[in-house]
Amino acid sequence: MEKINQRPITINTMKSEIILIKALILILLMSCNAADKESAKAVAQDKFILTGRIENAGELENVRLLKGETATHAIELESNGGFYFEGSTPDEALYTLLVGERSFMLVLKNGEKVEFNADLSNPDHYTVKGSETSAKLQKLDAIRQKFDKQQVKLHGDFEKRIDSGETMLSIQNDLMAKNERYVSELSEKVLQFFLENKNNLAGFYGMMTLYSVDPTAHEEAIIKHMEEFREKFPNNQDVQSFASHIEEIKPLSIGQQAPDFSSLTPEGKEVKLSDFRGQYVLLDFWAAWCAPCREENPNIVSQYHKFKDKGFTVVGLSLDSDRDAWLKAINDDKLVWTQLSDLKMWDSEAGRLYNITAIPASFMIDPEGKIIGKNLRGPALQRFLERNL
């Protein structure tokens, strides 16, 4: 039987082999890390990565990522609530992450790995890492969430008070005053936020929030800073689209001369807006078919009779097409001031001139013909008239 030569196993030999194995593992790890870095570098050039975890997700199976209103991605949650998503955007852009009924604003761009974590038992306390702009938006989100809760409470109070038998007018006056206070508080906080962040996209999205909630209170600041955003983010579609809209409304902004026009009374008489120079004029766009307009009419009637002898009048511009319905609404709502219409609804020449896309809408015009207020409704109209007349 042939004897097989074997090298005796010694402690030193074992140590040498262990060292050799460790060295090989280290080389492999270094190779893998280098490969991973190259892979990450490749991803960074044309992708972003969004990862995270949703604690206490319950039966939630996925989260959704929206870019604008069209592109939607369903991201499946793992058993532990984790998720992973790779995407690409040519330029830094706003996304909305929908987690159940809660939405979160994220600004994502290629080259970033963003980590989002939330607990659905307390979704207002979430974390965002890897995106400085998204982290900044958490402050804006907190401001918005407080306002949304106030709106929910207002709605609940309205329902309770209606059920208790209170009159619609008393409820409206009370809740509208509260809502104006909430809107004012929100707009001041959002204004401060966007001014603090006017050098980044978080500030721009703060500006859009401000405009959507209270477009006229800080119109001058919005117009002033919009051009700065437009120049700083030339490839951002949201920025450029909103900038174009602001350009359209500039001629109708507070401080500008109110565009003159002529239209017809129910009797067929041609009347110009400039015929009312020397008075404060509420140019009121409304229609017989517009329920919110009809609900506001009693307030305008009340303020008209209080201040009509102090240099105030109203010019109603109806976006109706049915002449009989228009005349009936004038009579039913006791609208005794000058009423005009070309009965073309949204094709109304005055409506197009004033860029009217929704009603009720109104412009307060001073005796020199300049726009000094917009959409003054409810208690706001009375306060304005008391302050100026």
Distance (Å, whole) CA 328 – CA 331: 5
> Cβ(105)–Cβ(94) under 8 Å?
yes
Mean pLDDT of 320-327: 96
pLDDT number for residue 14: 39
Name the one residue in this structure whose structure tokens are 């966007």: 194
pLDDT number for residue 176: 79
Span(s) in the chain for CATH 2.60.40.1120: 46-130
Q: Which of 349, 340, 338, 343 is nearest to 320 (CA)?
A: 343
Percent of the chain at pLDDT > 90 equals 69
pLDDT in tens, 246-256: 988 889 999 89
Q: Which of 182, 189, 122 is nearest to 149 (CA)?
A: 182
Which residues are 67's β-sheet partners?
71, 95
pLDDT at 1 over 50: no
pLDDT at 72 over 70: yes
pLDDT at 99 over 60: yes
Direct distance between the N- and C-terminal alpha carbons of the chain, in angstroms, rounded to an integer: 123
Residue 75 contacts by C-beta under 8 Å, 6 or more apart in sequence?
A: 50, 62, 63, 64, 65, 83, 84, 85
Max CA pair span of the chain? 130
pLDDT in tens, 13-28: 334 443 443 443 333 3
pLDDT band for position 44 (50/70/90)?
Answer: low
pLDDT number for residue 218: 86
Residue 5 contacts by C-beta under 8 Å, 6 or more apart in sequence?
A: none
pLDDT in tens, 162-215: 889 888 778 877 887 888 889 889 999 999 999 999 899 999 999 999 998 888
Residue 306 contacts by C-beta under 8 Å, 6 or more apart in sequence?
A: 382, 385
CA within 13 Å, CB half, 299: 23
pLDDT number for residue 167: 84
pLDDT at 29 over 80: no
pLDDT at 71 over 90: no
Q: Measured at the alpha carbon of residue 44, what is the angle toward residues 42 and 48, in degrees to the nearest 5?
A: 125
pLDDT in tens, 269-288: 999 999 999 999 999 999 99
What superfamily does domain 262-381 belong to in CATH? Answer: Glutaredoxin (3.40.30.10)
Buried b (16+ CB within 10 A) or exposed e, 336-365: ebbbbbbeeeeebebbeebebeebbbbbbb
Span(s) in the chain for CATH 3.40.30.10: 262-381
Higher pLDDT, 68 or 158: 158
Distance (Å, whole) CA 323 – CA 230: 44
pLDDT in tens, 290-310: 999 999 999 999 999 999 999
pLDDT band for position 229 (50/70/90)?
Answer: very high
pLDDT band for position 90 (50/70/90)?
Answer: confident
Mean pLDDT of 37-57: 74
| CA of residue 215 relative to chain centroid, distance | 10
pLDDT at 36 over 80: no
pLDDT number for residue 175: 85
The DSSP code sequence of 103-122 is EEEEEE-TT-EEEEEEETTS
- Under CATH, which number does the domain 46-130 receive? 2.60.40.1120
> Cβ(144)–Cβ(104) under 8 Å?
no
pLDDT in tens, 349-378: 999 999 898 899 999 999 999 999 999 988
Q: What is the mean pLDDT of the chain?
A: 86
Distance (Å, whole) CA 231 – CA 387: 39
pLDDT in tens, 103-140: 999 999 999 999 999 999 999 999 999 999 999 999 99
Residue 296 contacts by C-beta under 8 Å, 6 or more apart in sequence?
A: 286, 360, 377, 378
Distance (Å, whole) CA 292 – CA 377: 11
Structure tokens at 163: 């059920």
